[in-house]
């Protein structure tokens, strides 16, 4: 049985890679176009483009794996059937049930991988993308032009006289909290530094004045830093809080159910695919594309419904339905004939 298992799984692995790699390339191109759309708003270097692709990798795999699994499983069983190799294996004692068990472990492994992607990797990657996008957009807004009025840095209105490379000259900042307090800073030079959570305007060789209702406070400085924090303060703590409150939001619950269903789809459709893919080539015709397309459409139509109105009860009912249909078709179409 070990050699038979290895023989069948080697065919499945070859088919899976031949299908998975083109699907992966196509979806990657789609997300590259999405990155290109972002690059029209902000400047991205090669390292940042690769970083964004890494953020999108879990999502790309999430949609590629189940499609590839359905197509590869269908292609493997139909190819073995058309070449009469399954007929030969059945004649030597292999049963359809044992054949189905050969693919049970791969389906469970793919399901486990999909659950990890959907419940852990994808939410973190999406949040990291939002943080990255927010930072880049904030950086774009901090492009300060010389001799231009009305520009802002945090709570300050900023004016610069000249800019050379990354250094600003003749800087004036003005801020007012209320009618009784006004602040003005002047500096000969300055520069902006950015990090993942804030921006710093470093001022050199300047002075500052605070005008109160009944007094004026003045300082002279060689270096001073003023900080600005982007509005997007997303962090992984928000993700944990979101998971803990998922029951309170119907939309989040439906999205969670949708992710679970897509993740376990390799296991749910195993018997259905086998029922239509194990054929006798003398009496039945292979419809590989029709079978793959029909099963894929059924899975994603169900997933689309769950994404809008999914609940744990409805998810459980659909799981029972798919498994029941798979068992019924497998025994009616395959077990009885082989």
Low-confidence ranges of the chain (pLDDT < 50): 234, 238
At which residue do the structure tokens 């292609």 appear?
75
Q: Running DSSP on this structure, what letter comes out for residue 103?
A: T
User: Within 278-335, where are the H helices?
Assistant: 288-309, 312-329
pLDDT given at position 261 = 94
Query: Could you give phi then psi for residue 269, rounded to 5 degrees?
Result: -95, 5
pLDDT tens per residue across span 55-86: 999 999 999 999 999 999 998 988 888 887 87
**How do the residues of the chain divide into helix, strand and coil, expressed in percent and rounded to 5?**
65, 20, 20
Beta strands per DSSP E along 116-235: 151-153, 156-164, 167-178, 181-194, 199-211, 216-228
Q: Is residue 242 within 8 Å of residue 253, measured between CB atoms?
A: no
The Cβ of residue 243 has, within 10 Å, a number of other Cβ atoms equal to: 12
Instruction: Report pTM.
Output: 0.72
Dihedral sign (CA 158, 161, 163, 166):
negative
The answer to whether 129 and 56 have CB atoms below 8 angstroms apart is yes
pLDDT given at position 176: 63
- pLDDT tens track for 139-195: 655 566 677 776 777 677 888 888 887 788 888 888 866 666 788 888 888 887 766
Task: Give the model's pLDDT for residue 301.
Answer: 93
In this prediction, residue 240 carries a pLDDT of: 53
Considering the chain, what is the average pLDDT of its residues? 82
pLDDT of residue 297: 92
What is the pLDDT, as a whole number, of residue 25? 92
> Which helix (H) or strand (E) covers residue 16, if one does?
helix 2-39
Task: Give me the residues paired with residue 211 across strands.
Answer: 182, 216
């Amino acid at each position: 049985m070990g050699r038979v298992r290895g023989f069948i799984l080697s065919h499945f692995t070859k088919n899976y890679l031949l299908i998975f790699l083109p699907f992966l390339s196509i979806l990657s191109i789609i997300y590259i176009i999405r990155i290109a759309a972002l690059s029209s708003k902000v400047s991205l270097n090669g390292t940042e483009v690769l970083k964004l692709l890494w953020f999108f990798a879990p999502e790309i795999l999430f949609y590629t794996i189940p499609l590839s699994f359905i197509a590869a499983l269908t292609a493997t069983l139909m190819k073995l059937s058309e070449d009469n190799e399954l007929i030969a294996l059945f004649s030597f004692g292999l049963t359809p049930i044992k054949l189905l068990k050969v693919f049970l472990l791969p389906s469970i492994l793919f399901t486990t991988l999909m659950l990890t992607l959907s419940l852990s990797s994808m939410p973190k990657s999406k949040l990291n993308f939002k943080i990255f996008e927010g930072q880049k957009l904030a950086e774009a807004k901090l492009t300060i032009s010389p001799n231009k009025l009305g520009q802002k840095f945090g709570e300050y209105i900023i004016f610069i006289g000249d800019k050379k490379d990354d250094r600003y000259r003749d800087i004036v900042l003005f801020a007012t909290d209320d009618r009784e307090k006004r602040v003005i800073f002047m500096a000969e030079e300055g520069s902006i530094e950015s990090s993942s959570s804030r921006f710093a305007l470093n001022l050199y060789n300047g002075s500052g004045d605070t005008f109160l209702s009944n007094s004026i406070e003045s300082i002279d400085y060689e270096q001073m830093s003023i900080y600005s924090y982007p509005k997007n303060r997303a962090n992984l703590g928000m993700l944990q809080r979101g998971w803990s409150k998922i029951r309170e939001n119907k939309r989040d619950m439906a999205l969670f159910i949708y992710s679970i269903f897509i993740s376990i789809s390799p296991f749910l459709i195993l018997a259905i695919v086998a029922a239509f893919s194990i054929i006798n080539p003398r009496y039945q015709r292979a419809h590989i594309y029709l079978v793959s397309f029909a099963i894929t459409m059924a899975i994603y139509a169900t997933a689309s419904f769950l994404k809008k109105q999914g609940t744990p009860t409805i998810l459980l009912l659909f799981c029972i339905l798919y498994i029941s249909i798979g068992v019924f078709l497998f025994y009616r179409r395959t077990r009885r004939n082989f």
